[in-house]
Structure 1
Amino acid sequence: MNYIKRKSWELKESFVTDEKFFNDRRKFLKLGAALAVSTSAVMELAAKEFTPLPNLHYTKDLNQNNLTPNSYEQITSYNNFYEFTTSKKAVKEKAKNFRSEPWQISVDGLVEKPFILDMEKLLKKFALEERIYRFRCVEGWSMVVPWIGFELSELIKYAKPLSNAKYIRFETLYDPKQFPSQRYGLGSIDYPYVEGLRMDEAMNPLAIIAVGLYGHTLPPQNGAPIRLITPWKYGFKSIKSIVKITFTDTMPLNTWRKAAPYEYGFYANVNPDVDHPRWSQKRERLLGKFFKQDTLMFNGYEKEVADLYKDMDLRKEF
C-alpha cells in the first residue's frame, strides 16, 4: 500500500470546492436555490460572483493548515506594485490595460546554456498546482492567497545551473510605456525592480513561480503573467512580472536593500522579533479582519525553512 504523506501547505479534500458546483454557481443562484441555504453560504456564493472562471489546469491544494483564502476581490484590489502607482487601492485601475502577451523570460548567467523561455511553452513544460499560502507585507498587513504555479526548483533543474551558481537574481519588466512610475521616476526606487534568493532558498519546496490565483491567470496588479512567491518572506521579495532570471556567484543587490539598506535586508524573512524602523512586525492586520493577529515566525512556515538559517543571526542578517 502506498502511503501519501501530506505536505504542510496542503488542504483537506473536504475543504475543496467541487468543480461542477464552482462552475455552476451562477446558475445555482439564478434558480433561487440560495433560499435553501444559510445566509453565510449565500454571502460566500455572492462573493464568488466576482471571481473569474478557472482557465488553468492544475492540481488542487490539499493543505493541512485549513487556511481560509481572502476573496478574489480583496486579493486583487489591495496591492503594492510601484511601477504603476504607490497607492495600493489605485493599482487595479492603473494596471487594467497592461499587456502581458506575448511574454518571454530570459535565463542566463551561470547555466550550461542561456536560453529564452516563451510563456506559452513554460505553461506546457511545468505541471501546475494550487498552493494556499499566507502572504505577509512588511508594512504590517497580510492576506491568504490560493496561488497557482509550480516549484521554482523545477525551473532551476531545467536551467541546469553550474556548480558555482550560489544565487538567483530576478528582474521585472522595464517598459516605461506601460509602467507610469518608470516613465516619471516615481516610487523612490530604481527600475527595473530586482530581487534575489540564495540557491538553497530557491530550491526549498515552498518557493514557487506563480502564474495564477483562484484557478485563473494572474491579473496585472498581482504580477501578470509570472511572479515569484516565497511565503516565509515579506511580500516585496515576491517579485512580479519577471522577464529575466540570472544565476550568479554573487549576492544580488535587491531593489529595496539598495534604496534603504538600514530598513531592508537581503533575506527579508518574516520575523516578529525584528521590527522595521517604521512598522512593528509583532502583529499584523489580515485583510477583511478588524482586529490584528500575532505575526508568526517565518510567517508560519518555520518547520519548513528554519534550517536554512540555523547558523545565522537573524537580527543582524535580516
Structure 2
Amino acid sequence: MIPSSKITPESIFLNRRRFIQGMAGVGLMSTPLIGHALQFKSNPEYKPALELTDPEHALHYNNFYELGTAKSDPFQNAEALHTDDWKVVVEGECTKPQTFDMDDLLRIDQEERIYRFRCVEGWSMVVPWIGFPLSKLLEKVQPTSKAHYVEFVSVLDRKNLPGQRFNLLDWPYKEGLRMDEAMHPLTLMATGLYGKELANQNGAPIRLIVPWKYGFKSSKSIVKIRLLEKQPISTWMEAAPREYGFYSNVNPNVSHPRWSQAKERPLGSFLKQKTLMFNGYAEEVAHLYKGMDLKKYF
C-alpha cells in the first residue's frame, strides 16, 4: 500500500490524468523520469476504456529485487542497471537459435497496448506498454516439436546490482510459460512504457508482460530465452513452492496462503476493487486451462 502522504491529491491527479490520456495515445507524452521516445503505433484492439495509472506511481512503486527489496529501491538504484549493448539469446529446442541486440528487437513492429497489471501482493495498475508479441520473436528461431515450455532468464550482474549482492533469491531470476501461453497474442515483449523506452526500474531494456498472470511472472531485464521440452522451475517456485506455482494466473477465488486475492488496490487509490478472473482477460485465455483444476495448478 502506498502511504497517503505520497498519493497525489484528487484534483491534481484528475487534471494530470486527462493530459496523460490525451498524449500517451499518440506517443507525445514527455516526462523526465523515462528515456527516449519510441516509434510505435497504438493498437486499438488493446485500448480499453480504463483509467491509466499515473506514471508517478508506476515509475516509483516497483518490485525489482535486483535493485532492492523496498518499493522505492528500484527507482533510487536505477542507475546500477547497465543496459548498453544489451543482447537477448534465444536458444534450446529451435532450429535457428539466435542472439538479438536491441536494434534487432526494435525493428520488430512496436505497438502500444493498454493492459491491466495485477501484483500477487494485492495492488494493481493500468498502463500503456509498448512492445511486440512474443510469438513474433519465437517464430524467428523456429521452435521444434519438442518445445513445450519457454524459460526467461534475467540479468546477472552481482558487481553493480545491489540486490544481487545478497542471496535472497537464487540469481539470476528465472520464470517460465507453457508454449501456448507464450504464443498467445496477449503475451508481450515490452520495450517501452508511457510512450517512451522502459525506465530501468520497470525492467529495461526489455521485459515480459503476461497480463492475465500475477506480475512476478513478467520477467524483467531479460538476457536469455530458452525453449524447453520439460517444465522449468521458476525462481519463486524454488524459493517458496507452497506460495508460488508455475501458472500463477490471477484468480480471486484462490487465496495466497497468507492473504486473500479477492480484491486489489489500484496504485494511487485509497479504495480496493474486486479482482477479475484472469485479471479481466478470461474471454481471451480461459480456454488455455480447460479441464485444469485451477486451485491445484495455481
TM-score by length of 2: 0.89
- 8 Å CA contact 1:95–1:220 kept in 2: the answer is yes
Q: For residue 78 of structure 1, what is the amino acid of its counterpart?
A: Y
What is the aligned counterpart of 1:127 among 109, 114, 120? 109
Q: Which residue of 2 aligns with 1:305?
A: 285
Structure 2 stretches of 5 or more lacking a match?
Answer: 1-11, 22-28
Q: For residue 131 of structure 1, what is the amino acid of its counterpart?
A: R
In the alignment, the residues of structure 1 paired with residue 204 and residue 13 of structure 2 have an alpha-carbon distance, to the nearest angstrom, of: 35
Q: For residue 274 of structure 2, what is the amino acid of its counterpart?
A: D
Q: Residue 59 of structure 2 aligns to a residue in which SS?
A: helix
In the alignment, the residues of structure 2 paired with residue 68 and residue 214 of structure 1 have an alpha-carbon distance, to the nearest angstrom, of: 13
Asked if 1:272 corresponds to 2:252, the answer is yes
In the alignment, the residues of structure 1 paired with residue 13 and residue 81 of structure 2 have an alpha-carbon distance, to the nearest angstrom, of: 38
Q: Residue 180 of structure 2 aligns to a residue in which SS?
A: helix
Structure 1 stretches of 5 or more lacking a match?
Answer: 1-37
Q: Offset at 1:120?
A: 1.2
In the alignment, the residues of structure 1 paired with residue 144 and residue 13 of structure 2 have an alpha-carbon distance, to the nearest angstrom, of: 57
In the alignment, the residues of structure 1 paired with residue 77 and residue 15 of structure 2 have an alpha-carbon distance, to the nearest angstrom, of: 33
Q: Which residue of 1 aligns with 2:49?
A: 66
Q: For residue 150 of structure 1, what is the amino acid of its counterpart?
A: F
Asked if 1:200 corresponds to 2:183, the answer is no
Q: Which residue of 2 aligns with 1:75?
A: 58
Asked if 1:90 corresponds to 2:73, the answer is yes
- 8 Å CA contact 1:54–1:214 kept in 2: the answer is no
Higher radius of gyration, 1 or 2: 1
In the alignment, the residues of structure 2 paired with residue 248 and residue 300 of structure 1 have an alpha-carbon distance, to the nearest angstrom, of: 29
In the alignment, the residues of structure 2 paired with residue 118 and residue 39 of structure 1 have an alpha-carbon distance, to the nearest angstrom, of: 38
Q: For residue 99 of structure 2, what is the amino acid of its counterpart?
A: I
In the alignment, the residues of structure 1 paired with residue 247 and residue 77 of structure 2 have an alpha-carbon distance, to the nearest angstrom, of: 30
Q: Offset at 1:40?
A: 4.8
Percent identity of equivalent pairs: 53
What is the aligned counterpart of 1:178 among 141, 152, 160? 160
- 8 Å CA contact 2:80–2:161 kept in 1: the answer is no
Q: Residue 225 of structure 2 aligns to a residue in which SS?
A: strand
Q: Residue 254 of structure 2 aligns to a residue in which SS?
A: coil
Q: Offset at 1:54?
A: 6.0
Asked if 1:151 corresponds to 2:103, the answer is no
Q: For residue 148 of structure 1, what is the amino acid of its counterpart?
A: I
In the alignment, the residues of structure 2 paired with residue 140 and residue 91 of structure 1 have an alpha-carbon distance, to the nearest angstrom, of: 19
Q: Offset at 1:53?
A: 7.8
- 8 Å CA contact 2:78–2:200 kept in 1: the answer is yes
Residue by residue, what CA displacement relative to the aligned partner does 1:259-301 show, whole Å, maximum 9, x if unpaired?
Answer: 1111000000000000001121000000011110000000000
Asked if 1:256 corresponds to 2:256, the answer is no
Q: Offset at 1:68?
A: 1.4
